[in-house]
Chain A
Amino acid sequence: MSAPGKFRFVSADRRVREDRRFVAGKGRFVADIVPAGTKHVALVHCPHPAARIVSIDKAAALAMPGVAYVLDGAELAGATNPLAMGLDTPNVARWPLASDVARYSGEWVAAVVADTRALAEDAAEAVQIEYEPLPFVLDGEEAYRPGSPLVHQAHGSNVLLDRTFVWGEVERDFAASPHTLKHRVTWGRSSTVPIETFGVTASWDPWREMLDIWASIQMPKYPDQTAMALKLPMSSVRVHYDVDVGGSYGVKRGIKHTVLVGYLSRRLGVPVRLIEDRMENMRGGDMHGPERNFDVEVAFDDQGVIRSMKMRALDNVGAYAGRSPFQLGKPIGAIVGPYKIKSVAYQAIAVVTNKTVQEAVRAFGQAPTNYAIERTIDEVANRLGLDRLEVRRRNLIRHEEFPYLIPSGSTYDSGDYHVVIDKVLAHAGYGDLIAERDRLRGQGMLAGIGIAACLEPSGGNSSFEPLLNPKVGTTTWMDSCRISIDLVGSITATMHTTSAGQGHETMVGTVVGEVLEVDPERVRVVRADSLNSLPSNSPVGSRMAIMLGGAAFHAANKLKDKLIAIAAHELGMPVERIAYKDGNAFDTAAPDKKRTWVELVTIAHRHIHRLPVGMEPGLSVSHIMPVPTGGALPTADGRVQMYPCFSFEFHLVLIAIDPDLGKPQIKRYVVGHDCGTVINPKIVRGMTIGGIAHGIGAALYEEFAYSNDGLLMTQSFMDYLLPSSHEVPPVEIVHHETPSPHTVFGQKGSGESGYLGAPAVIASAVNDAVRPLGIVVNSLPIKVAQLGDMIAAARDNKKGN
């Protein structure tokens, strides 16, 4: 926590204002919003991994009660533009419905519109589609090889991206190092899977030429992309941001859903909505996360100091391009993690396969990369017979070395990594933890200690876009806040995007209250819609504390300056002589000479003749803030400042595995957490532990598994396993604060840290546990059955020997 007295409301343990409506069941989620006359969509999906659509017979469906329309892909593709994609791959075009060829099992082929969802589902079963199955490919490495079945014939290969970056003297550093090590680690296909599925309602008003949209969305450029696909001016698309989003963590980007219902609403002249059911969400919602193979090679000395790294990352992004390949780009901003690796070669490969489409997932590709780096550090220690902690300490950037430039062009802002680790070890009683591990081993358990560090790049910038697609010149992103003091002195702040549980209303109220020195509860926070909003790039990339918090801070300061200027004019003295306290402005030399809040507000709104010459009347200001350190295009060799701020976490766990069951049990979980200044401790704590829970899922339970014939086998929560309260252990958080020099309070991002470190630390602990049996586990998730089989085989092998 911050030093006492540094702030009045920031860092104070205050309640989260959004909570009141949620505990009463009065959240306003998209499924709660049903305009009069709304019709409902159900989808017909392709049951094959790849198939030509030979014919669609809609007659039986159209004859069923309550059915208004059956839409196919040919009609939709004829009327709309393809959905936006990140890379320059025009022949991997995607529309909401497949036409001609369907490319994964679950892809939407037709949409049925009816009076109720139930009637639409009934009719969807009656749509007759004839398919001609085509060759398909599921495995990313196979898709990468020449001769593989092609997912998109017109593209000519399955490769969307294959670029190798070389930063520094990699070959020289490898040649000069006495040791090298190479291994493959893999990250399985999982996702954030919010409990609320994606939903959207669109309502076209032909008299006003306006498409109103309510959606459970978390997505930059959502109104723009919707308008472009529907061939509408953006001023005819109004996205309502006052919709509570029931969890997202990156994936709520239902652009194809939105274009579909937007088109249908215009076509039919009624509001149309699509609320995914869970199966639609899992198989056709296009929200799967990265599925990535890493081949990592490092060069190091006798002390375990790593000089250079070569990393090949191949990501299986599913059947279409979308935005997901950029998830190979963001990790470039922290490609060496918190370590002083001097040179890096990075090959980033994105391939299409006949699997469900990938979408942005919490940390945007950084969690898999962090897992690969941390697994590698552990293996370096094992190779040399050194302590894993000691190897990390020798490689970590030291506090006095910040700001620290990494080979790929990002400068880390600040950090105190060694101290955070020492605090965690002291809190945990590291010696006792080792003794406990050994005691468990003595009882016949397989027990292991996991160690992992991670960086959380935060501030959400777009530098990976021009880096991976030179046709995109987007150098940075913005966020904004507008604040008004009305004529009776009440304060209203406006934000310009949706939230999915991050407590942004609380944060804006806290920041405005801090600056204007008023109780944050007096600050009303509302959300604009997309037509009366200022620019925002939505809550992605751990950016809102930095960006929305920063914009609110600057807007509030503009207001404060205006109040001071009015007082100075009234009192006939320079503004430098005026002090502001608790809403009142007074002469520093004679504090009884003052103007109160009510007087200042009255002058600004009503006594305009008393304003300084040339000053705008009223008290409304806006601030639009670019990302700190952003704004530059990449160099020719692919160096660029990615995100501005870098939070640090250090995870330490003790895991016990019953050798007969193979089931890992987390006995202790301690995390050191440094996200700079904490604005709201309750929110940051929740984000941290929630991210860890999500990481535990990715490490041990969650996987979108496919059968050999290309069908998604995990389409429900009976087989895609989400951690329950039994699977998430108590988590002890050790706080540390290294403020960022780039932000208004020293804050950094905190939404992703748990998810960045938990998979790595669990993999570390499991490997520590099973290493005595000669087992190395290098793929996630580590499923109980597989681990149990590996342990059994290793024990049989030992007995046999």
Chain B
Amino acid sequence: MKVELDINNEKHAVEVEPRMSLLDCLRDKLLLNGAHAGCEHGVCGACTVLIDGAAVRSCLMFAVQADGYAITTIEGLSPGPGELSPIQDAFCETHGMQCGYCTPAMILAAHALLSKNSQPTRDEIVEAISGNICRCTGYAQIVEAIALAAERMRGQNIKTGQP
């Protein structure tokens, strides 16, 4: 069946099977490969995208259910080719990753947090990423990245909610 998906402020008309997950649709139909399959049962969070600004597991959502919502993937966060958003840059500054597989989802989870809370405590950051499993880092440099991004975004007076 046909759906129209609003992804990163662009409309995409896609023909999908009703059973196709949003994750598979993003990857296989639209070649948006930044969303990753980790467990495909909603635990690891590697497939996280933003639906109307909220972090959602794209493996647990059918593509047809996403029709009508504003979907943001990691590909929508870079201000331009080769440019990094403040959150992306903070992850680079603290090396908040190793293999990079969970990273796009972590950054989107951080984005969802910082769009609501510009001064998160450590506990609030830990809670915000607790649905995203990272096997490499032990989370410390991820937590630091998000705290650093929050600090810089406040310092630069970037409007809360912008990546």
Whether B126 contacts A247 by the Cβ 8 Å rule is no
Whether A717 contacts B133 by the Cβ 8 Å rule is yes
Whether B101 contacts A194 by the Cβ 8 Å rule is yes
B residues 1-44 with Cβ under 8 Å of A? 17, 19-20, 27, 32-41, 43-44
Contact with B along A699-742 (1 / 0, CB 8 A): 00000000000000000111000101110101100000000000
Q: Which of A249, A501, A718, A726 has the most CB of B within 10 A?
A: A501
Give me the 4 closest cross-chain CB pairs, A-B, nearest first. A25-B34, A22-B100, A501-B98, A501-B99
Known A-B contacts A195-B133, A195-B134; the reply to A726 vs B126 at CB < 8 A is yes
Known A-B contacts A690-B136, A693-B137; the reply to A22 vs B43 at CB < 8 A is no
B residues 92-145 with Cβ under 8 Å of A? 92-95, 97-104, 107, 126-127, 129-143
Indicate if A208 sits at the interface (CB-CB under 8 A). Answer: no
Q: Which of A262-270, A291-299, A679-687 contacts B (4 or more CB under 8 A)?
A: A679-687
Q: Which residues of B contact A20 (CB under 8 A)?
A: 84, 92
10 A–B pairs (Cβ distance < 8 Å), ordered by A: A23-B92, A27-B100, A193-B135, A247-B136, A275-B37, A501-B99, A685-B140, A686-B95, A686-B141, A716-B43
Known A-B contacts A278-B41, A682-B95; the reply to A21 vs B100 at CB < 8 A is yes
Q: Which of B50-58, B70-78, B154-162 contacts A (4 or more CB under 8 A)?
A: B70-78
Indicate if A337 sits at the interface (CB-CB under 8 A). Answer: no
Nearest-Cβ distance from residue B74 to partner chain A, whole angstroms = 3
Nearest-Cβ distance from residue B140 to partner chain A, whole angstroms = 5
In the assembly, what is the distance between CA of A725 and CA of B142, in Å? Answer: 10
Whether B33 contacts A24 by the Cβ 8 Å rule is no
Whether B102 contacts A689 by the Cβ 8 Å rule is no
A residues 635-682 with Cβ under 8 Å of B? 682
Whether B140 contacts A689 by the Cβ 8 Å rule is yes
Nearest-Cβ distance from residue A538 to partner chain B, whole angstroms = 15
Q: Which residues of A contact B35 (CB under 8 A)?
A: 25
In the assembly, what is the distance between CA of A686 and CA of B102, in Å? Answer: 15
Of the residues A196, A278, A502, A689, contact of B138 by C-beta under 8 Å: A689
Whether B135 contacts A19 by the Cβ 8 Å rule is no
In the assembly, what is the distance between CA of A389 and CA of B137, in Å? Answer: 29
Whether B101 contacts A23 by the Cβ 8 Å rule is no
Which chain B residue has the least Cβ–Cβ distance from A506? Answer: B95
Q: Which residues of A contact B98 (CB under 8 A)?
A: 247, 500-503, 686-687, 690
Q: Which residues of A contact B131 (CB under 8 A)?
A: 724
Whether B102 contacts A195 by the Cβ 8 Å rule is yes
Q: Which residues of B contact A277 (CB under 8 A)?
A: 37, 40
Q: Which residues of A contact B139 (CB under 8 A)?
A: 689, 693, 725, 728
Indicate if A609 sits at the interface (CB-CB under 8 A). Answer: no
In the assembly, what is the distance between CA of A690 and CA of B138, in Å? Answer: 4
Nearest-Cβ distance from residue A525 to partner chain B, whole angstroms = 16
Q: Which residues of B contact A718 (CB under 8 A)?
A: 41, 43
Known A-B contacts A32-B33, A500-B99, A686-B136; the reply to A24 vs B40 at CB < 8 A is no
Of the residues A18, A27, A686, contact of B137 by C-beta under 8 Å: A686
Of the residues A19, A246, A249, A725, contact of B92 by C-beta under 8 Å: A19
Indicate if A244 sits at the interface (CB-CB under 8 A). Answer: yes
Whether B38 contacts A195 by the Cβ 8 Å rule is yes
Whether B100 contacts A724 by the Cβ 8 Å rule is no
In the assembly, what is the distance between CA of A730 and CA of B144, in Å? Answer: 11
In the assembly, what is the distance between CA of A716 and CA of B41, in Å? Answer: 8
Whether B34 contacts A196 by the Cβ 8 Å rule is no
Which chain B residue has the least Cβ–Cβ distance from A754? Answer: B138
Q: Which of B20, B36, B77 has the most CB of A within 10 A?
A: B36
Nearest-Cβ distance from residue A271 to partner chain B, whole angstroms = 15
Q: Which residues of A contact B91 (CB under 8 A)?
A: 19, 23
Whether A247 contacts B101 by the Cβ 8 Å rule is yes
Indicate if A793 sits at the interface (CB-CB under 8 A). Answer: no
Nearest-Cβ distance from residue B117 to partner chain A, whole angstroms = 16
Indicate if B46 sits at the interface (CB-CB under 8 A). Answer: yes
Of the residues B78, B101, B136, B140, contact of A731 by C-beta under 8 Å: B140
Q: Which residues of A contact B101 (CB under 8 A)?
A: 27, 29, 194-196, 244, 246-247
Indicate if A192 sits at the interface (CB-CB under 8 A). Answer: yes
In the assembly, what is the distance between CA of A693 and CA of B33, in Å? Answer: 28
Q: Which residues of B contact A606 (CB under 8 A)?
A: none
A residues 241-278 with Cβ under 8 Å of B? 244-249, 275, 277-278
Whether A725 contacts B97 by the Cβ 8 Å rule is no
Whether B97 contacts A19 by the Cβ 8 Å rule is yes
Indicate if A312 sits at the interface (CB-CB under 8 A). Answer: no
Indicate if A518 sits at the interface (CB-CB under 8 A). Answer: no
Known A-B contacts A24-B84, A118-B19, A716-B41; the reply to A725 vs B99 at CB < 8 A is no
Indicate if A16 sits at the interface (CB-CB under 8 A). Answer: yes
In the assembly, what is the distance between CA of A194 and CA of B135, in Å? Answer: 6
Whether A685 contacts B33 by the Cβ 8 Å rule is no
Kindly list 12 other residue pairs between chains A and B, CB separation below 8 angstroms, not including A689-B141, A717-B41: A23-B74, A24-B88, A25-B35, A27-B100, A195-B46, A195-B133, A246-B36, A247-B101, A501-B99, A682-B141, A691-B138, A717-B133
Indicate if A15 sits at the interface (CB-CB under 8 A). Answer: yes
Whether A247 contacts B75 by the Cβ 8 Å rule is no
Whether B100 contacts A19 by the Cβ 8 Å rule is yes
Which chain B residue has the least Cβ–Cβ distance from A16? Answer: B95
In the assembly, what is the distance between CA of A692 and CA of B140, in Å? Answer: 11
Nearest-Cβ distance from residue A248 to partner chain B, whole angstroms = 8
Known A-B contacts A20-B84, A247-B99, A682-B95; the reply to A716 vs B39 at CB < 8 A is yes
Nearest-Cβ distance from residue B106 to partner chain A, whole angstroms = 9
Q: Which residues of A contact B40 (CB under 8 A)?
A: 277-278
In the assembly, what is the distance between CA of A247 and CA of B97, in Å? Answer: 11
Known A-B contacts A195-B38, A278-B38; the reply to A717 vs B99 at CB < 8 A is no
Whether B43 contacts A717 by the Cβ 8 Å rule is yes
Indicate if A172 sits at the interface (CB-CB under 8 A). Answer: no
Q: Which residues of B contact A23 (CB under 8 A)?
A: 74, 84, 88-89, 91-92, 97, 100, 103-104, 107
Whether B39 contacts A31 by the Cβ 8 Å rule is no
Known A-B contacts A724-B130, A731-B138; the reply to A278 vs B95 at CB < 8 A is no
Nearest-Cβ distance from residue A697 to partner chain B, whole angstroms = 9
Whether B74 contacts A24 by the Cβ 8 Å rule is yes
In the assembly, what is the distance between CA of A701 and CA of B20, in Å? Answer: 33
Q: Which residues of B contact A730 (CB under 8 A)?
A: 140
Whether B100 contacts A278 by the Cβ 8 Å rule is no
Indicate if A799 sits at the interface (CB-CB under 8 A). Answer: no
In the assembly, what is the distance between CA of A277 and CA of B38, in Å? Answer: 8
Q: Which residues of B contact A726 (CB under 8 A)?
A: 126-127, 130
Q: Which residues of A contact B104 (CB under 8 A)?
A: 22-23, 25
Indicate if A26 sits at the interface (CB-CB under 8 A). Answer: yes
Q: Which residues of B contact A503 (CB under 8 A)?
A: 98
Whether A196 contacts B95 by the Cβ 8 Å rule is no
Whether A19 contacts B95 by the Cβ 8 Å rule is yes
Nearest-Cβ distance from residue B33 to partner chain A, whole angstroms = 4
Q: Which residues of B contact A690 (CB under 8 A)?
A: 98, 135-138
Contact with B along A1-27 (1 / 0, CB 8 A): 000000000000001101111111111
Q: Which residues of B contact A48 (CB under 8 A)?
A: none
Which chain B residue has the least Cβ–Cβ distance from A282? Answer: B39
